[in-house]
């Protein structure tokens, strides 16, 4: 049964007409006799004809596809972002092609070439954790392929960007902790070449300065690539000479695991140590105490990025556009030292 796929030419031959006519019928153009058209359409559906997208795309010089280059889909932030992208792309009648860098610079570079070779019409990119340079994107942009970076963006390049107010929200989160009486706030800072991590750290630092709280380098934990070191970080925090009374975690997963470990060591949350996460995963509501977090609007960011990209694909000489998506601080039990009504 492994016959070759049926083509437009097969249909033409069987009907004794030219392939031009078949093409006309199949692509729904008007200059064709209704009768011929139905005859062609009938035979096509009977033969289970599927147009060869490769040929069409080659001829049209466009693929109706947007390439999505993200660190990994197992990360819920990105899988949700993809959801937002998908929705917008569907509405615009475009397909998406997803590549995962697995947080590796080399994989990111390879995937980029692969996507360009596949002639995607545009790119949606969130940098890998390893990518501390971005020269690999320049030639792509020079070729006229529009790129929109989102979340893990790339400042030193002339392309559209969608990001959250990392600085603001980190400041807000830190000030919230301060307002709860915390004075020794530990900060888990991610890779400092990442736009997001850098701004969060700055927000944290500026909040401390603003409230005249001394900045201790030992409170700033520069986390490594490997993220299954929470146990180690927890031990470090517990054993600090001046034990922190709050931890601003990298993300909710880290925060929740940290919470678990701290509790095992007999520490009370938030009384002994307050905990603030990042991303507002579903689970935040279900742990005990419930975890305060920062709502990172993944879907909205994906959708916004996709919108901007599609706009740029359709209007190639648009200027790059930057869009800020607001995050929101969600206060739950894990940071509420001062409970009203007590």
Binding site for DNA (CB under 7 A): 4-5, 7-9, 16-21, 23-24, 26-27, 30-37, 49, 51-52, 55-56, 58-61
Residues 298/81, Cβ–Cβ less than 8 Å: yes
- Residues facing 125 on adjacent strands: 69, 149
Instruction: List the x/- string, 261-300, binding to a second copy by CB under 8 A.
Output: ---------------------xx-xxxx------------
Stretch that binds a second copy, among 115-123, 125-133, 212-220, 268-276 (CB under 8 A): 115-123
State the minimum distance, in angstroms, from the CB of residue 167 to a second copy.
Answer: 28
Structure tokens at 95: 């397909």
Burial (0-12, 13-18, 19+ Cβ within 10 Å), 25: buried
Residue 21 interacting entry, from DNA, a second copy, none, C-beta within 5 to 8 Å by type? DNA
Residues 294/277, Cβ–Cβ less than 8 Å: yes
Structure tokens at 246: 């709050």
Give per-residue burial for 262-277: e unless 16+ CB within 10 Å, then b: bbeeebebbebbbbbb
Residue 283 interacting entry, from a second copy, DNA, none, C-beta within 5 to 8 Å by type? a second copy
Instruction: List the x/- string, 21-50, binding to a second copy by CB under 8 A.
Output: ---------------------------x-x
Residue 192 interacting entry, from a second copy, DNA, none, C-beta within 5 to 8 Å by type? none
Collect all residues with Cβ–Cβ distance below 8 Å to 274 and sequence separation of at least 6: 177, 180, 182, 245, 246, 247, 292, 334, 335, 337
- Contact between 86 and a second copy by CB under 8 A: the answer reads yes
Q: Phi then psi for 100, rounded to 5 degrees? A: -110, 130
> What is the C-alpha to C-alpha distance for residues 182 and 247, in angstroms, rounded to an integer?
10
In the set 34, 143, 214, 226, which binds a second copy (CB under 8 A)?
Answer: 143
Residues 323/304, Cβ–Cβ less than 8 Å: yes
Closer by beta carbon to DNA, 25 or else 310: 25
In the set 76, 198, 229, 323, which binds a second copy (CB under 8 A)?
Answer: 76
State the minimum distance, in angstroms, from the CB of residue 100 to a second copy.
Answer: 6
Closer by beta carbon to a second copy, 105 or else 168: 105
Nearest alpha carbon to residue 43 among 20, 24, 26, 18: 26
Closer by beta carbon to a second copy, 36 or else 79: 79
Helix ranges restricted to H, 118-189: 138-142, 166-179
DSSP 91-134: HTT-EEEEEE-TT-HHHHHHHHHHHHHTT-SEEEE---TT----
- Contact between 256 and a second copy by CB under 8 A: the answer reads yes
Residue 79 interacting entry, from DNA, a second copy, none, C-beta within 5 to 8 Å by type? a second copy
- Contact between 229 and a second copy by CB under 8 A: the answer reads no
- In what side-by-side order are the strands of the sheet with 122-125? 95-100, 65-70, 122-125, 147-150, 160-164, 322-325
State the minimum distance, in angstroms, from the CB of residue 43 to DNA.
Answer: 13
In the set 16, 30, 34, 74, which binds a second copy (CB under 8 A)?
Answer: 74
Nearest alpha carbon to residue 81 among 136, 191, 162: 162
Closer by beta carbon to a second copy, 101 or else 166: 101
Q: Which residues are at the interface with a second copy (CB under 8 A)?
A: 1-5, 48, 50-55, 57-58, 61, 63, 72-74, 76, 79-80, 82-83, 86, 95, 97-98, 100, 113-114, 116-119, 139, 142-144, 253, 256-257, 259-260, 282-283, 285-288, 316
């Amino acid at each position: 049964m492994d016959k070759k796929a049926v083509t437009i030419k097969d249909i033409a031959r069987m009907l004794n007409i030219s392939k031009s006519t078949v093409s006309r019928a199949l692509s729904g153009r008007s200059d064709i006799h209704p009768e011929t058209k139905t005859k062609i359409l009938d035979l096509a559906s009977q033969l289970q004809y599927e147009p060869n997208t490769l040929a069409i795309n080659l001829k049209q010089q466009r693929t109706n596809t947007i390439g999505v280059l993200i660190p990994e889909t197992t990360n819920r932030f990105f899988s949700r972002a993809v959801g937002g992208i998908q929705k917008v792309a569907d509405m615009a009648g475009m397909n998406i092609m997803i590549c995962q860098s697995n947080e590796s610079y080399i994989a990111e570079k390879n995937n980029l070439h692969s996507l360009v070779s596949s002639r995607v019409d545009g790119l949606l990119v969130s940098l890998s954790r390893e990518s501390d340079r971005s020269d690999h994107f320049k030639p792509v942009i020079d070729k006229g392929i529009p790129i929109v970076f989102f979340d893990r963006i790339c400042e030193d390049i002339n392309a559209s960007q969608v990001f959250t107010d990392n600085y603001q929200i980190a400041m807000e989160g830190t000030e919230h902790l301060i307002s709860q009486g915390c004075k020794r706030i530990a900060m888990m800072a991610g890779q400092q070449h990442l736009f997001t991590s850098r701004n969060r750290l700055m927000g944290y630092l500026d909040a401390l300065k603003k409230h005249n709280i001394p900045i201790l380098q030992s409170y700033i934990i520069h986390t490594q690539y490997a993220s299954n070191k929470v146990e180690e970080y927890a031990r470090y925090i517990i054993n600090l000479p001046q034990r922190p009374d709050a931890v601003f975690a990298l993300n909710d997963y880290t925060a929740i695991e940290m919470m678990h470990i701290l509790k095992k060591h007999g520490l009370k949350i938030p009384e002994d140590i307050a905990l603030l996460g990042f991303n507002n995963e579903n689970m935040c509501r279900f742990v005990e105490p419930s975890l305060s977090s920062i709502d990172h609007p993944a879907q909205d960011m994906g959708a916004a990025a996709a919108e901007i990209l599609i706009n740029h694909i359709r209007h190639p000489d648009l200027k790059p556009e930057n869009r800020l998506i607001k995050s929101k601080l969600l206060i739950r039990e894990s940071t509420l030292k001062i409970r009203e009504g007590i």
